[in-house]
A and B are shown apart, each in its own frame.
Chain A
Amino acid sequence: MLLINCPYCEATLPELEFAYAGEAHIDRPADPSALSDEEWRDFLFIRTNARGPHFERWRHIHGCGRFFNAVRDTVSDRFLMTYKAGEARPVLNALEAAE
């Protein structure tokens, strides 16, 4: 069981309190009707499927209830960092260097 740091609670807590919520930094288009079928398909279904650091969303569902973002290495299953929803996507190189 992983330990996950909730950036709102500022606490590291067991994975049981959290729910995974898919890839992060995929904004819902402001006007979906303006998108072509292909663009909308990409928004709906196409994901990075990263091998290595992956930007993803989690919800502290059995805690504060907030959605937040995380960078997790899909190979080592290690969290590199978590940050609040709406914050800019962190720069990967710096993170990897820190690891």
Chain B
Amino acid sequence: MSRYRIPGMGRVDPAAPVSFTFDGRRYTGLRGDTVASALLANGVHLMGRSFKYHRPRGPVSAGSEEPNALIGTSRGPGRFEPNTRATVQELRQGLVTESQNKFPSLKFDIGAVNDRAYMLFSAGFYYKTFMWPRSFWDKVYEPFIRAAAGLGKSPTEVDPDEYASRYLHTDVLVIGGGASGIAAALVAARSGARVVLVDENAEMGGSLLSDPSVRIDGRGSWAWLAEQLSQLRAAGVRLMTRTTAIGYYHQNFVGLCERLTDHLDQPPHGAPRERMWRVRAEQVVLAQGALEKPLVFDGNDRPGVMLAGSAQTYLNRYGVKVGDCAAVVTSHDSAYYTAFDLVDAGGRVAVIADTRDQVRPDLVEAARRRGIQLLTGHTVTTTYGRLRIKGVRVNPVKGGQVGAGRKIACDTLLMSGGWTPSLHLFSHTKGSLTWDADSRTFLPNHKTEACQIAGAGRGLWGYGPVIEDGVKAGLAAAEALGRTGTAFGAGVEGDRPGTGVSQKELPTDLSAGKAKAFVDYQNDVTAKDIRLAVREGMRSIEHVKRYTTNGMATDQGKMSNINGLMIAADALGKQPPQVGLTTFRPPYTPTSFGAFAGYHKGATFELTRKTPIDPWAEAQGAVFEPVSLWRRAWYFPKGGEDMHAAVARECRATRASVGMFDASTLGKIEVAGPDAVEFMNRMYTNPWTKLAPGRCRYGLLLGEDGFIRDDGVIGRLSQDLFHVTTTTGGAARVLNMMEDYLQTEWPDLNVWLTSTTEQWSTVAVNGPNARKVLEPLVEGLDMSDANFPHMSVAECTVAGLPARLFRISFTGELGFEINVPARHGLALWKAIHEAGRAYDICPYGTESMHVLRAEKGYIIVGQDTDGTVTPQDAGLDWAIGKAKKDFVGKRSLQRPDIVAPNRKQLVGLLTEDGTRLEEGAQIVLDPNQKTPMTMAGHVTSSYDSVALGRPIAMAVITGGHNRMGETVHIPMPNGTIRAKVTSTNFYDPEGERLKA
């Protein structure tokens, strides 16, 4: 048995030893221990070094609010977790743990020189101390501070664990499985409601687990607890332990993070590590209890200084005596019960120093009976020791004057600065708080959600009152659901009622500059820092918080917020409610990224859309690229070709003979109905009335602001039916925009819009031999140029498949696009590929498609346009139906900014030295101007062109259309590149090849 374990106490299993290591040393704890309780049982208090000053630290609490005892835990390769709270991590066989933020060792840490250089690191030090010289910040100061300060190291490997997520709908969600929450859940469940009860701890019970001496309904509190839990199960309540309510959102939406395997010796294979629950509850009962506050005095952070209530938890729940000789300093009655329990368990309590002058007579009597020295009206002015507390100096306080101190030896100092209701989740809902002057604490006030608040979470104290309050909350929840609950009472004997006061830092006889009285342990913020912030002009608590970083660590100030407020209010000469609290934000406790990500990682991060032809491309060894959610064949390398070689070959083959391309991802929308042409006239810039059935037109879509939104070829299949194509990425946006206008602006139009993107597979065949390849496959259509000229569309049969055949081109070559029902896409592709053998047909990917279209100056919306490009800017004035009275965006084309000269306009660029420009490179007119230079535009597209035997580029340049033939300059790291402004139509400018 470990030195500090008391046989027969606690809820740990003495017959089940569990072996683990801390900083390489082997220890033994018991099943049911946390890492903290097991280390304390072995007499280890020193568990970490502080963030800024590297001061030795031990656990100050026994729960999830722990700021100090942060450790790294390892569960095998890739399963390292930093900043785990030793007070939360349950022990399991073989657990490997280590302390953090120390070098070379926890007991001797070089970084502790920071503690001597205290003055350098006071509030706002990073705004002051490290300001000069300015250039030192990035290179010297910041890397140094980041290396010296800090918490654990982030893992670098991919997290191999699985994380699950689930939805849950319930009538009542009770958060907090203490006495109050249990009572609420029981009443609500017995009214017939579906009830879920969650608690972040390994077992239900809350503070009951730390108070076995209290008797309820004639039984010990633990027997009562067991009985209530079996009643809850019998009533059908879903009990979820190790489950933290991390956030409370609108309309009773609560996020729960359930920890499933971290406590298991051998997690089942494939079991998720954590599960995120998204709960929607009709009623929420917040029964989260209260958090104990530290007292603020010099040396209140030494290992061995601990919250009194936590020492009581270690004693009663884990059977661990936190030391041989305790001193207690308190401003709340609750710490007396800790002292009593310690003495009753055979421990020694050297002194209870109470900051209050008056103490309840029964507590005085109970202390006297146990032989505990009681000093009322006393303060603690310092502690002694280095890696562990050795003593405490207590001084009387009379009329605000601190008297002479005396040293009292101890190896633990148990403190209580009173209790703060756990308001975090309530605050997430923007529920308002009210200042209770009697208890000097904030209590929940106006509710914004359908919730009840019960127990210590609204300032009540003692088991009798909180059980009664839980019953009330259960009744209220039932009533809100239209059910009738039944109240029950619980007779409590030996209850532990209590009151206390909240206060600023304790009075001291030390000089103001000398006291290191910590308010926020995790961020090393002292009372002095907060007063300094106020002196330096911070007035709002939000500013004080950010200047000092009080409450900004991973514990979000669970212990420090109220103490910080008390001190700030005192420094400002205001009442605490006038200063106000900072905002609590989710998550309640640190939550793993894995739990948030859930299933959304790797291949299931987002869906991948594939065309019916995708398997063929994959079998051919195509290299793919993502285009919006689609995966598209980028190029088809042959025999070890790199991308450059493959693309050059694909382009050459297409222009020389024939190429084929999977264009299935193009967005397709069918616009049908008697008013279809009117609708098209209003949506697109182009005129549609005179477009005959069987003909196509390039359509340009603007936003109402006059900027290009999308484009695509649109075929008119009959008077009342248009086959609209959109960009691959723009399909959903365009349909949404069309639906918007149709539903809300022109509901009188008789038009139907249908997305047909995934209904059609599309194969583009381009090149001088395109017709020769297709002609044998086509039935029901005379494909001759005379009968089926450029920009025609017809329904026919291709390779025996029903098809919509377009004669269009995105390459400048004779081109066709064949649409067949998607299920036939692969068959069509194979048939064309087979038929094209005689002409060495070449499948090409998106990269060659980009090169071929750029050689013709065809724009890609989103690449050559960026949402600020008008049709004029892009050289597409010709696509505007000038005679049309109105279309979406037309009025904006007359706005002063749009008709202003020197807008950025799309032009071609040819570099003088034949280098290929970088897409996105900035362009200047005068390369000799001073930096920062005036930028005249940027390169939008740039490729090596086989057809032209040189690189080509497109760019938007200020007043570009009037700069034809001018030279512009592109400054790059290795020198400035000169380029000539040209037309964007680089290849076959007369368009003869289209007409073949």
Contact = CB atoms under 8 A, between A and B. Distances in A.
B430 interface: yes
B173 to A, nearest CB: 15
Interface in B662-682: none
B918 to A, nearest CB: 34
Interface in A50-66: 57, 59, 61, 65-66
B705 A44 contact: yes
Contacts of A2: 250-251
Given A33-B885, A85-B743, A40 B253 contact: no
B895 A32 contact: no
Nearest to B249: A1
A95 interface: no
Interface in A69-88: 76-78, 85-86
Contact of B448 (A57, A76, A86): A76
Contacts of A3: 250-251, 280
A78 B895 CA distance: 38
B704 interface: yes
Contacts of B890: 32-33
Contacts of A85: 743-744, 747
Nearest to A40: B891
A19 B732 CA distance: 12
Interface string A34-54: 010100110010000000000
Interface string B890-913: 111011100000000000000000
B740 interface: yes
Contacts of A35: 891
Contacts, number: 54
B745 interface: yes
B739 interface: yes
A1 B743 contact: no
A37 B250 contact: no
A76 to B, nearest CB: 7
Contacts of A19: 736
B739 A1 contact: no
For chain A, the bracket of interface size reads 20 to 34
A21 interface: yes
Nearest to B255: A1
Contacts of B891: 32-33, 35, 40
B886 interface: yes
Interface string B721-744: 000000000000000100110011
Nearest to A12: B251
Nearest to B704: A44
A21 B736 CA distance: 10
Interface in A1-29: 1-3, 19, 21, 27-28
B740 A21 contact: yes
Given A37-B896, A44-B705, A44-B892, A67 B448 contact: no
B250 A77 contact: yes
A81 B219 CA distance: 53
Contacts of A31: 885-886
Given A41-B895, A76-B430, A33 B886 contact: yes
A4 to B, nearest CB: 10
A86 B747 CA distance: 9
Nearest to A24: B744
A1 B895 CA distance: 40
A1 B740 contact: no
Interface string B429-453: 0100000000000000000100000
A37 B895 contact: yes
Given A1-B249, A40-B892, A77-B250, A67 B705 contact: no
A3 B705 CA distance: 32
A54 to B, nearest CB: 16
A28 B890 CA distance: 13
A3 B896 CA distance: 43
Contacts of A21: 740
Interface string B212-254: 0000000000000000000000000000000000000111010
Interface in B730-776: 736, 739-740, 743-745, 747
A33 B896 CA distance: 14
Contacts of B892: 40, 44
23 contacts: A1-B249, A1-B250, A1-B253, A2-B250, A3-B251, A3-B280, A21-B740, A28-B745, A32-B890, A32-B891, A33-B891, A35-B891, A37-B894, A40-B891, A40-B892, A44-B892, A57-B744, A59-B739, A59-B740, A67-B740, A77-B250, A78-B250, A85-B747
Given A1-B253, A3-B250, 17 more contacts: A1-B278, A2-B250, A2-B251, A27-B745, A28-B745, A31-B885, A31-B886, A33-B885, A37-B896, A41-B895, A44-B704, A44-B705, A57-B744, A67-B740, A67-B743, A78-B250, A86-B744
